[in-house]
Amino acid sequence: MKTITINIPIKRLFIFATNLLFIAGLSGCTSTPNVRKSGNDTSGAPKPTISRSKNPANFAIVASTIGGAAGAVIEKYMEKQATALNRDLSGIALVERIGEGIKITVSSVVLFESDSYALSNTPQEQLKKMAETLINYKDTELLIAGHTDGTGDAKQNQILSEKRAESLADFLLAHNVPQLRMVTQGFGEQTPKVSNGTDEGRRMNQRVEIAIVANQTLKKDAKRQAEQDKISKKNG
């Protein structure tokens, strides 16, 4: 499969991710059927300590949390988006609501050809639906993170994880998800979910994770709405 090249270098994109997504806007509330909920209401609560190196998607979501009444507004926005994404990706991905964000985990076995970064044909219709939902919920940004198991050469695993993340971003870009909403990063074999000691464990570790968070526009709108609601209650 021929992919579209993303013009912004990956290293520059990750700097963009660190400064924009992690700080300005890249954790649960009520979940819908089949949408997994992680944690409790985060409004006004301190952000839990999560290792960026061990769990970059969760770190990105928690680091972008604003909390309070504005955070609750963002959670409602994300809940609706998660419901749609769960419908789009039914059977091929785990969609989790994490506070003010969404985490999607897709097995590389499902996404890609064997030992390749070329997308398989099977999930592409569902990925197209995912792209449509992302377009509809335009006030979000994405960190697309590739991960491998510990089999083989570590350097090659790193390269493969990067290319797999880029491949998924290329697909979404080709289906009209704006480039500047997406950041890709590969983590190779450094971030296993479970032990690589079994076939099942290695399969689980080969994955792509997507962190979806509020952008600056959504955060400003949420703060404005929260302030208006506060005034309305006070006057009422």
Whether the predicted model's global pTM rises above the 0.75 cut: yes
- Whole-Å CA distances, 115 to 45, 60, 108: 42, 28, 9
- pLDDT surpasses 80 at 62: yes
DSSP collapsed to 3 states, 164-212: HHHHHHHHHHHCCCCHHHEEEEECCCCCCCCCCCCHHHHHHHCEEEEEE
Establish if 2 belongs to a structural domain.
no
Structural domain contains residue 96: yes
Residue scoring higher pLDDT (47 or 171): 171
pLDDT-derived band at 53 (thresholds 50, 70, 90) equals low
Residue 185 within a domain: yes
Q: Which residue has the higher pLDDT, 111 or 52?
A: 111
Residues 6+ apart with CB under 8 A from 187: 56, 145, 146, 147, 158, 161
In a domain, 212, yes or no: no
- Residue 52's pLDDT band, with cuts at 50, 70 and 90, is low
For the domain that residue 177 is a member of, what is the CATH number?
A: 3.30.1330.60
Number of structural domains (the chain) is 1
d(CA 129, CA 205): 25
Q: In this predicted model, what pLDDT tens digit does every residue of 174-204 receive, in sequence order? A: 999 999 999 999 999 999 999 999 999 999 9
Domain of 192, in residue numbers: 11-205
Decide if 106 is inside a domain.
yes
Is residue 1 in some structural domain?
no
Q: How far is it, in rounded angstroms, from Cα 78 to Cα 31? A: 10
Band the pLDDT of 236: cuts 50, 70, 90.
low
User: 51 falls in which pLDDT band (50, 70, 90)?
Assistant: low
Would you say residue 157 lies in a domain? Answer: yes
